[in-house]
Structures are given as C-alpha cells and as structure tokens.
Amino acid sequence: MKRVLLAPLDPVHDIGLKMVARGLTAAGHNALLLAPDLAPEEIIEQVVKHRADTLLIGRTLGYGVAELLARFVDLTDASGIREKVKIGIGGMAVRPELAAELGFDAGFGPGTEVEEVICFVEDREYKADLGRIKKRKSDMTSSYDYRYHHPGISAKLAQITDMILDWVKGKNSSGVRRAKVRHELWDAARWRAREDMSEFTKEYSKHCGEIPRKYFEQGELHPKTRRFTIEEVRKFEAYLQELKERMSVKKLQHTRPKPLVFNQYGTGCPFMDIGHIVASQAWGVDGVIHFDPSWGARTEGFMDGFLTHQEDGTVITPANFNRIHSSLESSTLWQVRAHRGLNTPETVVLAGKLGADLTKINICYGALGAGTDPARMTLDGYHSILYAQQYNLPFDVVTNEELAGVPAHKAFAGMLIVADLAVRLGARPILQPLFAYSPEVMLRGLMADNYIDYNTAKVHALRSILNAPIWPGAPIGFLTHTEDRVQSAMTTAMHASLAMSLGVDAISIASTDEAYSGGPITASAKIDTLRAVQEGFRFFGQASIIPTANANLLVEELVEQIEAVLDRVIKTGDFVAALHQGCLGSREDGAYPGRAGKDTVEME
C-alpha cells in the first residue's frame, strides 16, 4: 500500500484528482485528497506530515502557470522531499513531454486512464489495452425480409422487373465480358503470389478500351497516374506497420447500436487514403467507401499496379485495392462503389475477390446522373446485381439524382425498381435516400422551416412501402455544408442525430472540408465530423427528435407520387425507353441520359 497525496493546485478544477483518488483507494492505497487552492508551501507541509510516497498535482494551465509549476518543483528540492517522493501532474493541457520539461516524474493529459496513474504510483509499466473496445462487422441487411407493405406499388414493381428481365435476354457488352473473364480467369491468391496470369491478361485485354490495352500490351500508364517508387513502397509498408502496432479503435455510438457510420476516401493517392482510413478507424468509423475518378467510369477496363493519381478519386486496380484492404481493421466494413460507369459488373467481381463487404449499384443514377448510356447501364447493372449476389455483397442503391434537381419521388421510384430487381435476383439491396438540401428542396421550400420534416418523410415513406435496410447518404447534410468547418461539423452531427432518432441502419458522413476543399481532404477534417457525430449521439442517447405534423403530409405525397411514376414507366412498356423519356428524371429536372457506352450493347 502506498501513501498518496493528491493536491489540486487550482481554485476549482479537481475532478480528475477525485476520480484518481477513488481508483487508488479501490486499488488498496491510502489516498488523501487535499482541499483546492492550497499554497505550495502548505502542500509540501502535508507531504511531510503524512509521509507520502507519491504526490499528484492537478492544475489547469494558463498564463504564468508553467513558471508556477517549475517553482513548485524547485521548492520540493529546497524542502528535501524531491528525492524521496514521486511527483506527477495532470490536467487538460498537460502532456508527458511538458511534465518532464518542468521537472515532474510523469504527466497525465486528456484521455488518461485511472489505471495508468495507479501503475505510476505502483512503479509498474502501464500497457494500454488496445483491444478494450470490441468492435465487429455487422450485416445491416440480416434483419430484413424485403416484404412489401404497399401491395399496389409491389405489383407495379413486379411488372417493371419482368420488363427488365425480358429486355436483357440475349444481350451482351464488353463490360459484361470483362467481368466474366475477371470472374473465371483471375485468381486473387495466384495474383498475390505473382504467378503467371497470362491466360487472363490475353483474354481480358481483348475487351478493353485503348488505355487499359496500352497498359497490358506496352506497359503504358494513364497520363494522370504514376507508379509508386520502391522507396515510397518501403516507407508505406513501414508506416502501416508502425500504425498497426499502436492501433486502437473507438465507438461512435453511445447507447444505441445504430446507425453504422461510413466515410469515404479517394484523394487519388492510396498512401494518403490509407492514412485517412487509419485515422478514421482510430476515431470510430465503422466503414469506409472507395471513391474512384470520373474518367475511370468512362474507360473500358482497368489497369493494374500500385498507382497514384494526380487528381481526386483513387484509381481502381487490383494492387491499389489489395494495399487498401491491408490497412483495414477486422471490424471495418469496406464498400467499393460500382454504380455509375462502364466497369460496373467487373468492379463488383474485383471487390468480391479482394475482400469488400459492400458495393453500390444503381442503374438509374448511372444512366441519368453519371453519364452512362441507359441501355448499357441497364444491361451492366443487371449483371452487376447477379455478381453482387454471387459474391455475397449487399449494395446500397443511391439516389443522387436529387443533386441534379430530380424530385425525390422520381429518384425513389428508380431506387425501388433496382431494389425490386435485386430482390428478384436473390441479392440484398439497401435503400439510400439522400439527406440533402437538394435543388428540389430549395425550389419548393421544403426545408424552409427545418431540415427534419422532409428527411423524416423520406424514411417513413420508404418504410411504408418495403421492409428493407435504409442508409441515408451520401453524405448526410449534403449542400448544408459550407467552408466553415465548425458549421459543417455541426450540421453533419445534427443530421446524424436525426438519422439515429429515425433508427436507420447506417449513414455516410463528409469531412468538414469535403464540399469546399478544392483539393486533398485533410485527416483532421475527417476527425472533425467523427467527433461531432459522436457528441451528437451522446447528446441524444435514447431521446428522439420529433418532426412536425407536416412530415406526415409529405409522406402521403411522396408515396402517391412514386406510384404515379411507376405507372408512367409501365405505360412505356420498355424500361430503357422510360429512362430516355424522363419518367425517372427528365432534362427539365436536370437529368440527362448518358452517352458513355452508347451503342455498345450487342445481341448475342
């Protein structure tokens, strides 16, 4: 048993010392907490009087306090107790380096565990329990049966799914062929072992566009990319090893298990991405999302190699995916977006082979908001869903059309069409309504009073139609963010708290510099929103956010409008024609049928 004196060298702040005193007493030590604001001479008198083995000082730093603490240490020297008594200091601004500089034996700053102080008192080495917080991956689709609550909409979706299944019969594309080659001839274990893959390469390059074909035939890279040097790779491996050795994870959720929190990476540089991923994991994120460059979605085929890209969006290659996957904690969910371009089915195959947990597919968004020809996107999207089912990858169906001004009911109708097709094919779709201050919202004044009613109405409308997981994105609060990082963190936290109150399964959040970064996104800005979301979850706990009565009116309106959109799609008799005719988003709405891959769908 040690005799420990705890002295708050501060007028009021002694909470930390009280917690430490209780811990020391529980550990069997004789801990005596002195009254606040004693003079240094009085504290030393008490040390002598009680023959203390250890003295723990608590102090909030401010102007001139460093000099005060240094003089205190000098006074212990002059009194003769310095060599007999261990002295530690703690406080919000204290760090071990500062404590050592001032002459203390130890310093305890924010986040210090009581056990750490007890170890100091007992002359034991403190070893942090890096696995103290136990996290594991969870399947957000496992508790949903995908049953319809709205028979009318269910029947209409079934007709449209039949329409799509009939349309894709006998059709093929270069994207579908590449995915088949990747699925049948490319083996991840053999590739990692650097075994001969010439059979795959020879067949694969036949179906590629100019850029990947030049890569495989001549070793030429895309002009915006370069390989990492050997020296950079060595530094990367040392960096990752060092990070993993001291890695511990946090939880963002407080007393509710949901929602899971995702954020995306895609700086263009996988090395930097991995730094962001590790920082995100350390601050509590549950999943990360791969964001690729726009030109990649318009290129037929993938290159390979550990490549960095000079603009935002990290290039999809097996080597980049493999390196990124190696940085993930076992509890971190990994989503690879595959929803918008000419490589959609192959992206799903590659993601499945290299360990992804989730993907993202939406035929309507890819065809109307991401520049891909509707016919090509419909065929490739169908095969992507088949591969998602085969590789056991649930996928979200994003409704980003709203960003272009497409009304939510049209975007939701498109999302439900893809979800119904997926369920028919045995896949597990996740509905992704956008929590955003979208053009439709601005024009109609739907959020003139608050951001709660319309976002709540979206979730309730979808739940009144289908029993499926819901993952608002992407990110929540989009277009409510500004260049002000405090404002962006705050609005993200409030949207996250609304999502929690609504009991949704997951959310995607942005960094505080994401909307206005104009360049690489900083790790500190990612931590801003993660901390803000954590505080939001802590603030509300089991309490709820209650919308106004207007939310119910908006639910009724949305459901009626979705049903009307489905009627118009059925009336066309052709899903691809419906995309071209604007049933799911028109030019007047701001949606345009894409041209990438036009006339590349062939009859077999």
Q: Would the pLDDT of 520 be above 80? A: no
pLDDT at 204: 96
Which residue, among 475, 488, 474, 476, has the nearest Cα to 516 in the 3D structure? 488
Retrieve residue 49's tokens.
Answer: 């009087």
pLDDT digits (tens, 9 = 90+) for 333-382: 999 998 778 999 999 999 999 999 999 999 999 999 888 999 999 999 99
Query: For 21-25, 29-33, 232-236, 398-402, which range has the lowest pLDDT when averaged over its residues?
Result: 398-402
Query: What percent of the chain is modeled with pLDDT above 70?
Result: 96
User: Is residue 204 within 8 Å of residue 216, measured between CB atoms?
Assistant: yes
Q: What does the alpha-carbon distance between residue 479 and residue 501 come to, in Å, rounded to a whole number?
A: 21
Q: Would the pLDDT of 518 be above 60? A: no
- Is the preceding peptide bond at 318 cis, omega within 30 degrees of 0? no
**For range 247-251, the mean pLDDT:** 85
Q: What does the alpha-carbon distance between residue 253 and residue 259 come to, in Å, rounded to a whole number?
A: 8
Q: Would the pLDDT of 277 be above 60? A: yes
Q: Would the pLDDT of 233 be above 60? A: yes
Q: Would the pLDDT of 65 be above 90? A: no
pLDDT at 344: 96
pLDDT at 517: 67
pLDDT at 64: 67
pLDDT at 440: 87
Residues 6+ apart with CB under 8 A from 337: 289, 290, 291, 292, 347, 359, 360
pLDDT at 250: 87
C-alpha distances in angstroms, 499 versus 80, 113, 140, 470, 502? Answer: 60, 32, 15, 10, 5
Bridge partners of 290, per DSSP, are 265, 336
- The answer for 539, left when phi > 0, alpha when psi is -120 to 50, beta otherwise, is alpha
pLDDT at 432: 95
**For range 89-94, the mean pLDDT:** 82
pLDDT, greater one: 188 or 249 = 188
pLDDT-derived band at 393 (thresholds 50, 70, 90) equals very high
Q: Would the pLDDT of 519 be above 60? A: no
pLDDT-derived band at 63 (thresholds 50, 70, 90) equals low
pLDDT at 274: 93
Q: Which amino acid is at 141?
A: T
pLDDT-derived band at 32 (thresholds 50, 70, 90) equals very high
pLDDT at 131: 59
Domains annotated for the chain, with CATH where assigned, are 3-122 (3.40.50.280), 208-245+252-336 (no CATH)
Q: What does the alpha-carbon distance between residue 488 and residue 517 come to, in Å, rounded to a whole number?
A: 12
pLDDT digits (tens, 9 = 90+) for 551-603: 999 999 999 999 999 999 999 999 999 999 999 999 888 899 999 999 999 99
User: Is residue 336 within 8 Å of residue 323, measured between CB atoms?
Assistant: no
φ/ψ of residue 539, rounded to 5? -65, -45
pLDDT at 212: 94
Q: At what angle do helices 344-353 and 318-326 cross, to 10 degrees?
A: 40
This prediction has a pTM of 0.86
Q: What does the alpha-carbon distance between residue 586 and residue 28 come to, in Å, rounded to a whole number?
A: 74
